Chain A
Amino acid sequence: MTLTIDHLDCSLGKRRILHDVSGLSASPGEITALIGPNGSGKSTLLKAIAGIEAASGRIRLGERQLDALSLEQRSQCLYYLLQDTSTQAALSVFEAVLLSRRTQVAEPAATALSAVERALTSLELDPLAERELVTLSGGQRQRVAIAQAIVRKPKLLMLDEPTSALDLHHQLQVLDYLRRLARREGIVIVLAIHDLNLAARFADHLWVVKEGRHIVSGMPEQVLTPERLRDIYAIEAHVEWPIDAPPRVIPLSALHRLGD
């Protein structure tokens, strides 16, 4: 079930944010990383795919024509995990993850409980299960949000900077888990991410957006070159692809201003 996007336009208020975003595709079993500067439209693109922001254009997931489906119908097969996971809700971690499952499927309590339990275990959250969301640190809350996402077993999972608040252990643990999840279940995973080292290491495919336009997409080796990075981010960078070690993207200096 490949995700393909063509001629996607999206406006927020009076501002046109996405300009004819075309030619994007993401394959099942793979991790696609969405990169681009601040304000380039990454979050907006993911929300438009999820149906959270109104957009025009063609969005297909395998046979399904997503753009013809309502928000509720789309939520049956996809999930968008938003960038800001802060909350003041007086819910326990377990309750929050269970809630996510319950808003999607009606099923016997025992089935739901064991699904929640598995999701918590895969994110190493079992010790926190009874804690209230407000008492968690930012990174812990982010992992709970990821558990809320995977407990729904979406066919298309979109995560907006899912590792932005995580420590090094959990950055690797979460991304490694997501990669195995994609391979095992054959789902499409798209994640917006700023850390290019992680993107280079874990992504099978990259989408680059800038100023609301699709600039380039392809394999990390093709996209993450010093020339391209200069175009995209206005930085000088050194890139290495060692055979026996993870790829390295070393930013050296910021060049001219990067317009918003």
Chain B
Amino acid sequence: MKATTRLSHTAKPESTAVRYLARQRRQRRLIALAALAVLISLLVDVATGPGAYALPDVLKALVAPSEVSRILEIVVWEIRLPVALMAIIVGASLAVAGAEMQTLLDNPLADPFTLGISSAASFGAALAIVLDFGLLPVAGTLLLTGNAFLLAMFASLAIWALSRLRGVSIQTMVLMGIAIMFFFNALLGILQYVASAESLQQLMFWSLGSLDKASWGKLGLAGLALMITMPAFIRARSQLTALRLGDVQAKAMGIDVGRLRLRMLLCCALLSATAVAFVGTIGFVGLVGPHIARLLVGEDQRVFLPMSALTGALILSLTSILSKTLIPGILLPIGLLTALIGLPFFVSLILRSRRETWR
């Protein structure tokens, strides 16, 4: 049979490949738009804050720091830019970790928050704040960050280790994550119970999530985690997409599903532990970022992965702006606002598409 012959009732003016390429162009346009939105949000984020500098001055400080006042240069380069970039890197990390956890565990509710990684990190932070106890031989704010990172890694690795046991289903792994969340929440409760009023407030502030402790050093580390894991996800993009057709079909396509799940969960662990350690508990982004991406471009990882990163970055960046402007003069904890800003957008998308996927 010749490839070009068609039955008359199926005849279409354009070939299926041409139509696919058009779809791909639409997806890429959406990704480019999202990237543009992130860039704009970044600039607005840098331009907002106490000390009302005009946007042109701020932009000038960004491109030509030597031509603006020393104070403005410091405000922009040492304070605002690290915070604004941290919002983007952490937002992207959380959303990518969430996207891949949902894919790997075949569960639309999986994200660093629901799997207990954030709770473990909070407990680590509480150890530092309440008991001044460090798991790593470091001091100062790094004590807190180190603790949070170690415990977040521990929680992720517990889930990861479980997945190595033969015959453990992925549903079991999700349940394990939820159990971990309750476990660390209980431990956290104990520490809160014995804590002084002052450290309780400090702990509260940390667990609500905040970006304002960002520095270029932390930014580098958070960026490093993203730079290590993204190439791994990108290399495995076809295999990860195939996983969405179910384990058996993925295996039929020659994919060592067990090994893939192990390696990729490790990457998720690194990403989420780093993100949570630096900024505290920020829910919703890891859950909803991927869902919005899925609605916009579908689940082919070639487009789903970058789109998830961008939606996560955008949500957190917009939240960062909002946290500074909602009540003038007061910086609200960003973790409080992610849900407020993400939810309306999310609900409107769900209602518009009403489909049987996870979307």
Contacts and interface: CB of A to CB of B under 8 A. Distances in A.
Interface of A: 13, 47, 50-52, 70-76, 79-82, 84, 87-92, 94-96, 98-100, 102-104, 113-114, 116-118, 120-122, 124, 126-127, 129-130, 132, 134-135, 145, 180
Contacts of B1: 122, 180
A63 to B, nearest CB: 20
B265 to A, nearest CB: 20
Contacts of A80: 252
B59 to A, nearest CB: 39
Nearest to B21: A113
Contacts of A95: 20, 298, 300
A147 to B, nearest CB: 11
Contacts of A51: 251
Given A90-B299, A126-B16, A75 B252 contact: yes
A52 B256 CA distance: 10
A96 B245 contact: yes
A129 B20 contact: yes
Nearest 3 A-B pairs (CB), nearest first? A75-B254, A89-B244, A129-B16
B238 interface: yes
Given A130-B19, A134-B357, A103 B244 contact: no
Given A88-B356, A89-B244, A90-B294, 9 more contacts: A52-B248, A82-B252, A91-B241, A91-B298, A96-B245, A99-B300, A104-B253, A126-B15, A132-B357
Q: Which of A84, A88, A100, A124 has the most chain B CB atoms inside 10 A of its CB?
A: A88
A89 B299 contact: yes
Contacts of A104: 253-254
Contact of A100 (B253, B298, B357, B358): B253
Interface stretch (B2-10, B90-98, B147-155, B207-215): B2-10
B298 A79 contact: no
Q: Is chain B's interface secondary structure helix, strand, loop, or mixed overall?
A: loop
B248 A129 contact: no
A72 B359 CA distance: 31
Nearest to B244: A89
Chain A interface main SS type: helix
Contact of B17 (A50, A89, A117): A117
10 contacts: A72-B255, A87-B246, A88-B358, A89-B245, A103-B253, A117-B15, A121-B5, A126-B10, A129-B16, A134-B357
Contacts of B355: 132, 134-135
Interface in B215-250: 238-239, 241-242, 244-246, 248-249
A118 B253 contact: no
Contacts of A118: 3
Nearest to B358: A88
A113 B355 CA distance: 28
Interface residues of B, number: 39
A132 B298 CA distance: 9
B352 interface: no
Given A75-B253, A90-B294, A103 B239 contact: yes
B252 A50 contact: yes
B254 A113 contact: no
A104 B255 CA distance: 10
A120 B241 CA distance: 20
Given A104-B254, A126-B12, A91 B244 contact: yes
Contacts of B244: 87-91
Contacts, number: 130
Contacts of A96: 245
A102 to B, nearest CB: 5
A122 B4 CA distance: 10
Given A95-B298, A117-B17, A132-B357, A82 B248 contact: yes
Contacts of B29: none
A103 B239 CA distance: 7
A74 B254 contact: yes
Nearest to B247: A52
Contact of A52 (B17, B251, B357): B251
Residue among A47, A95, A180 having the largest count of chain B Cβ atoms under 10 Å? A95
A121 B2 CA distance: 10
A180 B253 CA distance: 24
Nearest to A184: B1
A74 B15 CA distance: 32
B23 interface: yes
Contacts of B23: 92, 94, 130
A113 B298 CA distance: 19
A40 B262 CA distance: 33
Contacts of B251: 50-52, 71
Contacts of A99: 238, 241-242, 245, 300
B10 A90 contact: no
Interface in B78-112: none
B230 to A, nearest CB: 19
B254 A121 contact: no
Contacts of B10: 124, 126-127
Contacts of A70: 256
Contacts of B241: 89, 91, 99
A113 B14 CA distance: 14
Interface in B1-56: 1, 3, 5-7, 10, 12, 15-17, 19-21, 23
